[in-house]
Structure 1
């Protein structure tokens, strides 16, 4: 990683946006959290994005499934895609994310949608959060939705 950093422009969500222009070249997001992934996606517009996931870090499976991303450690495998019922739920969650699931309506609707997935046995936290991040949800919305999912487990 140090060699890469020496040879290439490096930035973070805390640095000034003017430090790196969007779409001027490929972007590598190394073990991003919700905020850093959102930042990297914005920088990669019009270019390519490679993301390195870590165990215990922000889950990327749903993000990759939503976008049809290729796992470079298994390039011959086709992206899995989302189950139709999960894709429909993600579409509905995406509609209610306007206030980052911080308002009462957003929370109630998200809770209802998540309960429906849970009842059907198709609620996978990592997939839902990653897929919503791929749909452009803010880091705040992804974190709040994660809290709602965690609340269902209790």
Structure 2
């Protein structure tokens, strides 16, 4: 079983302060923790980031905190809802593993990892628009992403897998559906490794994009 529920705070408003974005995510994750009677976890790219955002600093005092480098051991067993704060690809992959069978909220930083495709794939709740789920992916794009997942099981390493993935990407381009960041972040939602995402970026760069 994967993630039961997902939510995000999109990085789409330059006037929105990081404290406000973090507060929206914290409120949702703590609600999920109470509903599941489980402990929450804060996942960061690096320790110390929480010290710059008061609501995260307070959250960290009540819950476990870890990073991909520190690993899962810091949070023990019985992990519940996870809050990933401005994750890069490696951190999102790690947070997704921790949130399996529970809930995941993400505060996006488009400078690190745009997450529009991730949110669409998981129909994540947009916490800046209460009650509004993110628009679902186009059916043709969703089908293509399933094919990309099949060929990406080995991080698009074998030449055959790269060739087939390139064919899928070319078809998406022809259909006007090849948005680099949507494809990358949607694949991140399906558990592709950071190395696989890097190679997928390279493959996309080889396809003429409108």
- Runs of 4+ displaced beyond 6 Å: none
TM-score by structure 1 length? 0.91
Aligned residue for 1:110? 165
The verdict on how the C-alpha distance between 1:137 and 1:23 changes in structure 2, with shifts beyond 3 A counting, is farther
Give the structure 2 partner of residue 145 of structure 1. Answer: 200
Partner of 2:100: 45
| Deviation by residue 1:73-105 (Cα, 9 ceiling, x = unmatched) | 112323201101101110110110121011101
2:30 matched residue in structure 1? none
User: Number of matched residues?
Assistant: 154
Q: What is the CA-CA distance between 1:153 and the residue it aligns to? A: 4.1
| Per-residue deviation, residues 101-153 of structure 1 (Å, max 9, x unmatched) | 11101110111110111111110111111111111111111111011112224
The gaps in structure 1 that reach 5 residues or longer are none
Contact 1:63 1:130 in 2 (8 A): yes
| Secondary structure of 2:106 counterpart | strand
Larger radius of gyration: 2
Task: Name 1:5's counterpart in structure 2.
Answer: 60
The equivalent of 2:147 in structure 1 is 92
Distance 1:153 1:49, change over 3 A: same
1:66 Cα deviation from its structure 2 partner: 0.7
